[in-house]
């Protein structure tokens, strides 16, 4: 069973249950003795401490990514690179790439601009998903890409 089928199955069985949680690393907690003592509730209204999505939202976002890729002409087996920080959006993008029949090429967000360029060229990726943190790295991508990056 393909992993994307597991996502669809879980979406049908557990649609309203939380599946992914992102804790805001900007908000620090006081040291605790055991992991059970960590408070996972939003401590203030100033900055969201916790974001979460359900199985149905996860599947919906993955489907949107897949449909966007297919509408842009991505064919089965084409490579799509992902350059994002660790975030809640990473997995829906990854699963969307797989649902479109493309091959996901995850890149380490700690790479330098030259390492990103090397990996993108070596992987022969056709499309790149990247976060706003990496907008400055656009200059290092192959010229043939033009505005093809997402």
Find out whether 53 and 61 touch, Cβ atoms under 8 Å: yes
Over the chain, what is the mean pLDDT?
82
- Comparing 27 with 71, which gets the higher pLDDT? 71
Q: With 70 as the cut, is the pLDDT of residue 27 above it?
A: no
Q: What is the pLDDT of residue 87?
A: 85
Answer whether CATH 3.40.50.980 is correct for domain 55-145.
yes
- Comparing 39 with 109, which gets the higher pLDDT? 109
β-strands 103-106, 50-54 pairing = unpaired
Find out whether 31 and 23 touch, Cβ atoms under 8 Å: no
pLDDT class of 97 with cuts at 50, 70, 90: very high
Q: What is the pLDDT of residue 140?
A: 58
Q: How far apart are CA 133 and CA 142, in angstroms?
A: 19
The fraction of the chain above a pLDDT of 90, given in percent, is 48
Q: What is the pLDDT of residue 30?
A: 59
The H-or-E segment that residue 116 falls in is helix 113-123
Kindly list the distances between the CA atom of residue 148 and the CA atoms of 29, 72, 134, in Å, as whole numbers in the listed order. 41, 9, 15
Find out whether 22 and 87 touch, Cβ atoms under 8 Å: yes
Q: What is the pLDDT of residue 142?
A: 57
For 34-63, how does the pLDDT look when each residue is reduced to its tens digit (9 = 90+)? 545 555 554 555 555 678 899 999 999 999
Q: What is the pLDDT of residue 112?
A: 85
Domain residue ranges in the chain: 3-54, 55-145
pLDDT class of 148 with cuts at 50, 70, 90: very low
Calculate mean pLDDT across residues 82-104.
Answer: 94
Q: With 60 as the cut, is the pLDDT of residue 107 above it?
A: yes
Q: How far apart are CA 45 and CA 40, in angstroms?
A: 14
Q: How far, rounded to the nearest angstrom, does the alpha carbon of residue 35 sit from its chain's CA centroid?
A: 27
Q: With 60 as the cut, is the pLDDT of residue 70 above it?
A: yes
Q: Which residues contact 36 (CB under 8 A, 6 or more apart)?
A: none
Kindly list the distances between the CA atom of residue 8 and the CA atoms of 94, 101, 110, in Å, as whole numbers in the listed order. 14, 15, 32
Phi and psi at 83, nearest 5°, equal -125, 90
């Amino acid at each position: 069973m393909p992993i994307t089928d597991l996502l669809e199955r879980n979406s049908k069985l557990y649609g309203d249950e939380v599946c992914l949680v992102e804790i805001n690393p900007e908000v620090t907690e006081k040291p605790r003795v055991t992991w059970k003592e960590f408070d996972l509730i939003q401590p203030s209204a100033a900055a969201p401490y916790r974001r979460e999505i359900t199985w149905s939202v996860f599947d919906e976002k993955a489907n949107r990514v897949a449909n966007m890729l297919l509408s842009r002409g991505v064919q089965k087996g084409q490579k799509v690179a992902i350059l994002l920080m660790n975030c809640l959006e990473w997995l829906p993008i990854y699963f969307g790439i797989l649902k479109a029949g493309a091959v996901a090429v995850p890149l380490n967000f700690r790479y330098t601009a030259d390492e990103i360029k090397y990996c993108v060229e070596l992987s022969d990726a056709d499309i790149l998903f990247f976060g706003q943190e990496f907008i400055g790295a656009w200059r290092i991508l192959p010229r043939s890409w033009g505005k093809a990056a997402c």
